[in-house]
Structure 1
Amino acid sequence: MRTIAFIFAGLFLCTACGSSSTKTTSEEMTTADSSTSATEHDIAGSYTYQQDGDTVALHLTIQGTKAMGHLTYAWKEKDHNSGTLEGEVENGLLLANYTFESEGMTSVREVAFRLDGKTAKEGYGDVEEKDGKFVFKDFNKLNFDTGLVLTKQ
């Protein structure tokens, strides 16, 4: 009788250990998936800047590292332009092609924003024209400290 009790106890321990291992792996996968989704969710959304009659609005959708959206600049008593964004987000930095219409002409230029889930800070730097669009000369030299700060809505 004592031998049978030890066998059942051993089987119980082996089964319990196996279930625990599987459960931990499942929990780890869920945590990893939710952290990725949370990051995308935190960054995606609508951001605006409004001051002295000037308005800038950014609407952003994120899928993995791909970013898509709409960007509008409405300057008081100046040009207004509005268009689409397509680009990449890596480590909270968005680099995208902004295709927009201004004064009846379609143009393309690169835009950059540092995103933290609460704000989108526009980056500025030297640009050059390549293949019909304006691109940053060196993405690593962009300045995000003096640009517009859009607030998430």
Structure 2
Amino acid sequence: MRRIFFYVGAIALLYACGQSPRQQDDSTSTTAEADRTVDGDLAGSYTYEKNGDTVALHLTIHDDKAMGHLTYALKEKDLNTGSFEGRVTDGILRADYTYLSEGQSSIRQVAFKVDGKTAVEGYADMEEKNGKFVFKDSTKLDFGEGLVLTKK
């Protein structure tokens, strides 16, 4: 009988040690944890489908990193598909997008204004630096004319 109590106690202890701090006590959450929760609400799949064009963004947020998969299937244009890695700051995803187009790998920066319901693509002048295309001035991103992807 003692062994049963020992095993049950050991299993309970192991289970408790395996829980994350958020599972154990939400009342001690810090501002950083609250920010991650907000960012976590931004995670998910967003799509744009109109006039034969499709853009699909799958966003995952882990700690302070944003990553995922992005596909551009624009009518009468080459298919671009690949992955991205970056950060979400103040609702703006800025990331390096590594993609294949016509069998060739390329890297360019992308930006999306994400609010948990939509992801609006941002545009700015770009230039090539060290083999990748980057925004000349990321403070001048324009989200007014961007594609609006809707969360699924």
TM-score band, normalised by the shorter chain?
0.7 to 0.9
SS at match of 1:58: strand
TM-score (norm 2): 0.78
Q: Give aligned-pair identity as a percent.
A: 60
Post-superposition offset of 1:94: 0.7
In the TM superposition, 1:1-153 aligns within 5 A as 28-30=27-29, 35-153=34-152
TM-score, normalised to structure 1, is 0.78
**Paired residues, what number?**
128
Structure number with larger C-alpha Rg: 1
How many angstroms does 1:30 deviate by? 4.1
Structure 2 CA distance for partners of 1:47 and 1:27, relative to 1, 3 Å: closer
Runs of 5+ unmatched residues, structure 2:
1-24
> 1:41-68 deviations in whole A, cap 9, x for unaligned?
2100000000001000000100122101
- Does the 8 Å CA contact 1:44/1:60 hold for their aligned counterparts? yes
Aligned residues: CA RMSD: 1.8
* Distance in 2 between residues matched to 1:78 and 1:27, nearest whole Å: 48
Name the CA distance, whole Å, in 2 between partners of 1:126 and 1:33: 33
Distance 1:33 1:129 in 2: 35
| 2-structure distance, mates of 1:80, 1:93 | 25
User: Aligned-pair distance for 1:40?
Assistant: 2.4
Can you list the C-alpha shifts for 1:70-95, whole angstroms capped at 9, x where unaligned? 00000122211100000011111111
Query: Kindly tell me: are residues 34 and 66 of structure 1, through their superposed partners in 2, closer, same or farther at Cα, counting changes over 3 Å?
Result: closer
Secondary structure of the residue aligned to 2:76 is coil
1:144 counterpart letter in structure 2: F
- Pick closer, same or farther for the CA change 1:84–1:32 going to 2, 3 Å: same
Structure 1: which 5+ runs fail to align?
Answer: 1-25
The whole-number CA distance in structure 2 between the counterparts of 1:63 and 1:84 is 15
Q: 1:99-131 CA deviation, whole Å, 9 max, x = no partner? A: 000001000000000111111010000000000
